[in-house]
Structure 1
């Protein structure tokens, strides 16, 4: 099969391209910019475009599938050529469904936790050598590529994102998967640039539940009121399995899960991670992994990339980085950090980086998100606001919305970096929350 990727360099797209190359497909692609690690990984597979840009001449009549990434625009010249030739154009999730429509599809959805839960499931399955197809949005230890597609596997585990499918398909990605087994971890307003109201956002999850195949299974977080409302209002037929935060304790800095089989030591911390683990356990049961086997495997789970991931520093300081940027994620991560490090001085850094997080209306959601830290720092770039064509935001406005007068607010990367250099990284513990990189801040030294 001959496939062409428009915007091949994306974090998700390049993984799919590599998976298809490994499957024996003929793969080509284009992009206007490709960064690491996508660049090296595509180059190692021999599918890195020779030059950056869009080239309509690459689109030929013998291409079986054109896969369109979100990074491309509606007026992309390669897309126009594909339409002109009448080629089959897939969004990323649409193509994944085509690859898995004869398998049992397991879809993990939710505003927060879906990457971690998917990673936990894959870690357990990999530990017990149970082979499945999969797609997950973060790098996981023990896996070279975060998309796997085969002819023979019976199951496919998919991280289900509620964001748009492609520039020409404005459905939420997870609505294309039609799960046989699903999980919903939580609902908290996100992607405000696309979903203008909270009800519009919630509606994507109503549609997701409605897309579960007849007689399917939904594992859901019974501690989330919005999730419960959506589940209780569903009219289609499926089996409902609720889950909640399990009992645990922290002893000498180590987290122990309380189970009928005894205390299980874990390599991760935070109540939200324990809640995620409980959801993963129920999904694994559906896949034939019983509790004893699940606990045996989950002890060695160290977390998905950038999800409370410990950074090894030259000075041996204690620093964790986390992808948290949406308000619910920030609050859960800060709470976990406080619980884990009760006696240490706690520094928390948050970069407001996305369209949603920089929206004055959405900023209301961050109230008290950084409370309980000894030093709380928020950074956003005034230049980024200009690039996004957004109105200026004052540091005073940020403090008001966070309801935190002691907040330090930086709008200039150089000033943030200068402040960072004044801190003794071995005096206290550090939490760095961002989907960006704090203007190029080096966290390892």
Structure 2
């Protein structure tokens, strides 16, 4: 179904996310000939005021730029309510920007203290006569990209799929041939565009696919793709996900990434090709493989514990990666125990064992450590651990490891 399709697309790039602000995504679209609202970006109130005057628009929308949803209903610590404001008076833009820039905006997706706004987007406000949904996704089951669309846009697409699945339309794209004219036109008709707007929408669809290919995207989602009372088809919003394996040929795109809102531990982990996500528990997880990492978190929870993180070592493991992972985990004050769960296929368990013993000695690990190893060179790995003289608790399987990790905390 559509929800599963979008979910797979979102999860297809687990190594790290490329975080772009809304204006950056719109600039990429603009550069590919996709129709978006006219806009400027400002970092000071005076620049925002100047941008509003330059637009010379009937109505202006001012948007705070942070990497979080729910901006419209957010609250600034300046007292201003709402990170999105409409006005017909350019002077008001300067006044609003003065209460946005340099202040923290709190939304349902930000930390409690909010996120400091350093940039605002000043854009032309356009009336929307009708909203549709359109996306291009990489779909493993189709061995390539697919188009997904619905005449019901501007709302939660998962809800549309659940309640009215007949309003979800899908077109499989031949990766070698690209989007055919008849496919683009058929999608435009299914989205409800009529008359001259049909061809205009089809043209936008083809340009969005050109962008999808050009930037090595895994997803381009436009919600809404709308039509104006004046008869224009406009992409009013966009979310773009990128294939990080293509970073070597998308240097300009990846250089745009805004790291100011990223978690410092996640950024440090990425330096060593570690996939880290902080959680609110007290048992640190050190695992190879995303699926095994999720299973490890689940079984810790099953036995009454709470995982402190999701940390995936990946396949091409090196001894220094293991050391750096332990350094990150042991620096977390919430961590009261560490559980290592390695299933060695392409991972050499002996390399992991050497990294563990080095980290325990040099970092003078103070919390209980439970290790479960299985697979390639596991006997040598177990010998290294047993002869190390370190207080490492060996586990026979994942269930045993989780029980021991939870019990080690209960004994304190």
Same fold (TM over 0.5): no
Give the TM-score taking structure 2 as reference length: 0.30
Give the TM-score taking structure 1 as reference length: 0.29
Give the number of the structure whose residues are more often helix, by fraction. Answer: 2
User: Which structure has the greater CA radius of gyration?
Assistant: 2
